């Protein structure tokens, strides 16, 4: 903890000692075991494991006691009085009502990615978008070709979608080390995949359409949009209107789960405004000085309102979706009888093979094949670490089409025997895709030399992108990955100044962001603030001001620094919450992950990683030792 701030104000930060870069931790470079990964389990991985356990439980239950399994899910429930009643089965409650909440969370993610995430910039989004589209089309074509003549050609929707929950969980368990950029690629792909799947459900798997209730749904959606302008009590309004919209979709014949998506797309999303954060902090400080219920309520409301309702709802619903809704869905839909007769029929069924080939082969060919074409012809941007062999493993994982695949089985096939064959195909394809992805990732890792990771700068210096101090064509180059709240980076800044004085125009110095959020809670905000200052040509000046007072990184301190440096403060504040700024910092962080950077500062001297002391003379010796002949002979200025 740092010393008290000026005027008695406690500092916002609680800076912990980050790893010393001159003493690397050998354990940081070892690949964690699956047991270790499970030990540090999160919501996505836990949800995927629960989904797997629920699937196994459903299969076992359906084969031990078929009657009790089907009888339970066909139990009828009635809600309401008189003529205002809803009559549905327990199975329909899960598939129509609870799954609407699942699709609501999917819609929230879609909305967020288009507003402030990976899909805000076409240059970043083009690769996963095209891969996702190819991953929708190729499986459907293969399915139709194989299932032709069976009478079930219209069930091609079964093979179009990837199960996002399983995808993320499986990647966390079996994915390669430093898989951050692959994870971003797959999540962006999954968002587009979900949009395609939901659109296909609406267009091709809606029966008995009645348009009039949709007018009521439209009015409810308009009300949801304008609820954002209500100052207090928005939660009950959102909930009430969402129920009205769901009932209207149900009455119209459009599958009611799509109501969840429609509602989610109208929920506002934005990055935290620093003035709102500052106000929340001031209220929290007031409550600390004078604790009472009124100040507590104001502080809590202010903290809550500083985060968009989209992100609050995602956080609130994620555990219920992962731990309750998806496992219940698997329990209700994955109960496939696996008798010898059924398995024999499935093995001979073109429908089963159409699903297996569509998901396993179609997804792989569509996703990896489109990525191969784009990389060959240099379409779109592939960041460092997003290699074709890594994409191959991710493409194999895309063949896990569990949740929506089983969902569309119920919508597209009426015959119970054919449904069983389809479910066998979905389960088999998911297992094959998981095993195939594991093999691809292991082969990919085996081909990479153990000592190669991180020794060479993966992203060459680019004057059009990088923050460069000194002549852009200087013969000697230092690239620093750093953190504005790291004590070691503060020390290194003095060394860099000495090197620049010694070498003059013979050196170009490049700063890239690698905030260690685990140790420095405000490091990411500081990096984004510096990046916003860079848009006005003052990254290095802003960085020096951050280093000069590492303990004070409150939003008001950030704005004060911008004002003192003569920046356009209004523009600066707009840039702070822009997707471009956050994306630029995130790109550097993903590059750092791809190079196993776990401590800062990390220096790359003429493209090679510097190990050891980083005092000025050590850096200068390393510069000349790794330079070409011309640079080594150039005089120091």
In angstroms, the CA 385 to CA 67 distance is: 51
Task: Identify the CATH class of 43-80+122-177+320-447.
Answer: mainly alpha
pLDDT at 51 over 80: yes
pLDDT at 188 over 60: yes
> How large is the average pLDDT for residues 221-249?
91
State which H helix or E strand residue 221 sits in.
Answer: helix 212-226
pLDDT at 246 over 90: yes
Q: Within a 10 A sphere around the Cβ of 24, how many other Cβ atoms?
A: 15
> Per DSSP, what are the bridge partners of residue 508?
477
Per the prediction, the chain carries an average pLDDT of 85
Cis peptide bond upstream of 601, omega within 30: yes
> How large is the average pLDDT for residues 573-584?
88
In angstroms, the CA 329 to CA 403 distance is: 8
* pLDDT at 452 (0 to 100): 55
> How large is the average pLDDT for residues 511-537?
92
Residues 356-414: pLDDT tens digits? Answer: 999 999 999 999 999 999 999 988 888 887 889 999 999 999 999 888 898 899 889 98
In angstroms, the CA 523 to CA 16 distance is: 12
* pLDDT at 37 (0 to 100): 53
Percent of the chain with pLDDT over 70: 89
Residues 273-289: pLDDT tens digits? Answer: 666 777 777 777 787 77
Going from the C-alpha of 373 to that of each of 118, 376, 476, the distances in angstroms are: 21, 5, 36
Using the 8-state DSSP alphabet, how is residue 362 labeled?
Answer: I
* pLDDT at 274 (0 to 100): 67
In angstroms, the CA 409 to CA 419 distance is: 6
Classify the C-alpha dihedral 392-109-174-136 as positive or negative: negative
Using the 8-state DSSP alphabet, how is residue 308 labeled?
Answer: -
In angstroms, the CA 144 to CA 138 distance is: 10
> How large is the average pLDDT for residues 239-255?
90
State which H helix or E strand residue 381 sits in.
Answer: none
Classify the C-alpha dihedral 99-100-101-102 as positive or negative: positive
* pLDDT at 469 (0 to 100): 95
Residues 141-185: pLDDT tens digits? Answer: 999 999 999 899 999 999 998 987 788 778 877 888 767 889 888
List the helix and strand counts (H, then E) for the chain.
29, 7
Q: Per mean pLDDT, which range of 37-51, 290-304, 331-345, 405-419 is the poorest?
A: 37-51
Q: Give the closest residue to 483 by CA, choosing from 533, 517, 508.
A: 517
> How large is the average pLDDT for residues 77-88?
74
In angstroms, the CA 444 to CA 389 distance is: 6
pLDDT confidence bin for 337, thresholds 50/70/90: confident
Calculate helix-pair angle for 293-305, 274-289, nearest 10 degrees: 160
Which residues fall within 8 angstroms of residue 236, CB to CB, at 6 or more apart? none
pLDDT confidence bin for 589, thresholds 50/70/90: very high
pLDDT at 539 over 60: yes
CATH superfamily of 467-626: Glutaredoxin (3.40.30.10)
Going from the C-alpha of 191 to that of each of 188, 262, 408, the distances in angstroms are: 5, 15, 18
Q: What HEC string does 453-468 produce? A: CCCECCCCCCCCCCEE
Going from the C-alpha of 266 to that of each of 110, 218, 302, 326, 440, the distances in angstroms are: 11, 12, 22, 24, 40
Contact 322, 44 (CB under 8 A): yes
Q: Per mean pLDDT, which range of 394-408, 471-485, 547-561 is the poorest?
A: 547-561
Classify the C-alpha dihedral 319-586-106-229 as positive or negative: positive
Which residues fall within 8 angstroms of residue 497, CB to CB, at 6 or more apart? none
Angle formed at CA 98 by CA 92 and CA 99, multiple of 5 degrees: 90
pTM: 0.78
Contact 247, 97 (CB under 8 A): no
pLDDT at 29 over 70: no
Cα maximum dimension of the chain: 95
State which H helix or E strand residue 249 sits in.
Answer: helix 234-252
Q: Give the closest residue to 271 by CA, choosing from 115, 417, 91.
A: 115
In angstroms, the CA 147 to CA 128 distance is: 28
Contact 375, 131 (CB under 8 A): no
In angstroms, the CA 521 to CA 492 distance is: 21
pLDDT at 16 over 70: no
In angstroms, the CA 586 to CA 565 distance is: 25
Question: DSSP letter string over 481-507?
Answer: EE-TT-HHHHHHHHHHHHHHHHHGGGE
- The full set of domain ranges for the chain reads 43-80+122-177+320-447, 272-307, 467-626
Percent of the chain with pLDDT over 90: 43
């Amino acid at each position: 903890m740092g010393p008290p701030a000026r005027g008695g104000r406690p500092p916002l930060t609680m800076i912990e000692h980050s790893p010393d870069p001159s003493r690397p931790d050998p354990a940081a470079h070892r690949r964690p075991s699956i047991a270790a990964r499970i030990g540090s389990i999160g919501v996505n991985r836990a949800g995927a494991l629960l989904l797997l356990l629920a699937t196994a439980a459903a299969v076992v239950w359906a084969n031990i006691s078929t009657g009790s399994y089907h009888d339970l899910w066909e139990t009828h429930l009635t809600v309401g009085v008189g003529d205002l009643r809803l009559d549905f089965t327990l199975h329909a409650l899960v598939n129509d009502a609870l799954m609407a909440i699942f699709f609501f969370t999917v819609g929230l993610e879609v909305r967020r990615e288009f507003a402030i995430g990976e899909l805000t910039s076409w240059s970043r989004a083009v690769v996963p978008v095209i891969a996702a589209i190819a991953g929708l089309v190729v499986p459907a074509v293969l399915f139709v070709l194989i299932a032709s003549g069976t009478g079930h050609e219209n069930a091609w929707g079964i093979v179009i979608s990837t199960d996002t929950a399983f995808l993320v969980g499986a990647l966390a368990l079996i994915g390669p080390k430093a898989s951050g950029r692959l994870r971003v690629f797959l999540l962006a792909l999954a968002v587009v995949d979900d949009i395609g799947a939901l659109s296909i459900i609406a267009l091709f798997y809606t029966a008995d359409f009645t348009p009039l209730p949709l007018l009521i749904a439209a009015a409810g959606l308009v009300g949801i949009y304008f609820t954002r302008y209500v100052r207090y009590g928005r939660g009950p309004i959102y909930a009430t209107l969402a129920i009205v919209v769901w009932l209207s979709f149900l009455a119209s014949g459009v599958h009611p789960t799509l109501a969840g998506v429609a509602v989610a797309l109208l929920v506002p999303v934005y990055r935290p405004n620093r003035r709102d954060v500052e106000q929340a902090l001031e209220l929290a400080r007031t409550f600390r000085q004078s604790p009472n219920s009124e100040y507590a309520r104001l502080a809590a409301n202010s903290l809550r309102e500083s985060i968009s309702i989209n992100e609050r709802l995602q956080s609130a619903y994620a555990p219920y979706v992962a731990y309750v809704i998806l496992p219940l869905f698997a329990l209700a839909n994955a109960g496939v009888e696996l008798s010898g007769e059924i398995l024999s029929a499935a093995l001979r069924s073109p429908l089963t093979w159409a699903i297996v080939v569509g998901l396993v082969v179609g997804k792989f060919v569509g996703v990896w094949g489109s990525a191969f074409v784009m990389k060959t012809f240099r379409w779109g941007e592939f960041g460092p670490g997003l290699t074709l062999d890594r994409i191959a493993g991710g493409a194999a994982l895309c063949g896990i089409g569990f949740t929506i695949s089983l969902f569309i089985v119920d919508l597209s096939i009426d015959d119970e025997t054919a449904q069983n064959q389809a479910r066998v195909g979905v389960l088999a394809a998911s297992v094959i895709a998981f095993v195939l992805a594991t093999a691809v990732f292991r082969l990919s890792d085996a081909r990479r030399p153990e000592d190669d990771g991180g020794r060479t700068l993966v992203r060459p210096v680019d004057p059009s992108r990088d923050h460069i101090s000194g002549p852009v064509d200087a013969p000697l180059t230092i690239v620093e990955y750093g953190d504005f709240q790291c004590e070691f980076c503060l020390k290194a800044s003095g060394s860099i100044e000495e090197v620049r004085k010694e070498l003059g125009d013979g050196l170009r110095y490049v700063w890239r962001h690698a905030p260690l959020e685990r140790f420095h809670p405000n490091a990411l905000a500081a990096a984004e603030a510096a990046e916003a200052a860079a848009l006005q040509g003052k990254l290095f000046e802003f960085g020096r001001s951050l280093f000069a007072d590492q303990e004070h990184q409150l939003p008001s301190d950030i704005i004060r620094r911008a004002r003192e440096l003569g920046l356009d403060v209004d523009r600066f504040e707009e840039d702070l919450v822009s997707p471009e700024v956050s994306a630029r910092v995130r790109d550097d962080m993903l590059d750092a992950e791809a190079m196993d950077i776990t401590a800062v500062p990390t220096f790359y001297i003429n493209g090679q990683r510097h190990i050891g002391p980083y005092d000025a003379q050590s850096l200068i010796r390393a510069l000349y030792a790794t330079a070409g002949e011309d640079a080594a002979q150039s005089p120091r200025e």
